[in-house]
Structure 1
């Protein structure tokens, strides 16, 4: 990718105060005929070379042309275990959009792990909270187990958000035969108005009959 092509990709980005160029204009000026395929190719190259700058450019291009689809779910899942790209939050956002059941272990990993480059700027654990929301939206039953586990996380914001999302998920699936889980979460949710009571309750909670015992990576 030439310096001119890099600048052109940046013009595709969507952010406040910036009007991106059209996809047709981009293809004409790059030049290219298939923006989605170009995005996938550049993404593979950036990952192979572990180049964070090219990775962000490839993600911008791929996102603009709809290249980030289910075929990339395994690749994105693997990226949650790495931080060379310094785009873990973006990766989790894309996994949230894809909602692939096979990515639950990767989302649980993202909720547990704070990459080194985020240590000084993520006191509220924004990456983990995004992962919790992605688990809330993921259709896999394993996502319920993952949220259940995160309700006892030592960081209060992660435990709080996991409990809220688990409560929402269980309310939606009450007819699915999980009354014990719903009752448990409702007790924790009811204590949520008092942070101290909330934390005391989630720390005392033990796996019940609804816990399948399977856990994601540590």
Structure 2
């Protein structure tokens, strides 16, 4: 990804309350100016693959902006799961959010693993935000495997993990029964 492409992607983000205030570029205008245009969801998948190959952390931020602007598809799942395991970027919470939006049973194992993994850049976080987001993502996934994982997490030694898993189990009771 070029610097010009990164700057164009950043225009998808509105900055309303800063000294650099601006409205976001429209999705249509963005697609008209970015490479060959086309489908934003397909573009998100292509940029995911590029970011993983290049291992440039800024590109991960940019591709997530594109993905959250246009949406991720199930075809992006494998790339998102791979990115979740990579330690060279700083956007694991956003990757979990993308997986949460997909509500895919295929993500259950990876989301479970991330509840017990603390990247070095998050070692300061006593609130365990990454684990909490992963638990909430698990709560959005229908099916017995997500339920089993949440039950296991509800017995975790870490109180934050335990409490959030219990809350998700309680919330699921009304949605998936």
Smaller-chain TM-score bracket: 0.7 to 0.9
Aligned pairs for 1:82-97 (under 5 A) are 82-97=86-101
Q: Distance in 2 between matches of 1:132 and 1:43?
A: 24
The Cα of 1:160 is off from its aligned counterpart by 0.7
TM-score, structure 2 as length reference: 0.87
Alpha-carbon RMSD: 2.0
Gapped regions of structure 2 (runs ≥ 5): none
The C-alpha deviation readout for 1:92-143, integer Å capped at 9, x for no partner, is 10111101111110110121211111002x1110111111111111012101
Corresponding residue pairs, total: 172
2:128 alignment counterpart: 125
From 13, 30, 36, give the equivalent of 1:32.
36
After TM superposition, the structure 1 stretch with the greater mean CA deviation from structure 2, 25-34 or 78-87, is 25-34
Q: Tell me: CA distance 1:79–1:4, structure 2 relative to 1, closer, same or farther (3 Å).
A: closer
Q: Distance in 2 between matches of 1:96 and 1:131?
A: 8
The alignment status of 1:42 with 2:71, answered yes or no, reads: no
Preserved contact between residue 64 and residue 95 of structure 2 (Cα < 8 Å): no
SS in 1 for 2:157: coil
Which protein is bigger by CA-based radius of gyration? 1
Q: Distance in 2 between matches of 1:30 and 1:75?
A: 21
From 75, 78, 82, give the equivalent of 1:71.
75
Q: Tell me: CA distance 1:115–1:14, structure 2 relative to 1, closer, same or farther (3 Å).
A: farther
Q: Distance in 1 between matches of 2:35 and 2:54?
A: 23
SS in 1 for 2:23: coil
Q: Tell me: CA distance 1:160–1:96, structure 2 relative to 1, closer, same or farther (3 Å).
A: same
Q: Tell me: CA distance 1:140–1:60, structure 2 relative to 1, closer, same or farther (3 Å).
A: same
Gapped regions of structure 1 (runs ≥ 5): 175-218
SS in 2 for 1:80: helix
TM-score, structure 1 as length reference: 0.72
Q: Tell me: CA distance 1:64–1:149, structure 2 relative to 1, closer, same or farther (3 Å).
A: same
Q: Distance in 1 between matches of 2:102 and 2:46?
A: 19
SS in 1 for 2:146: helix
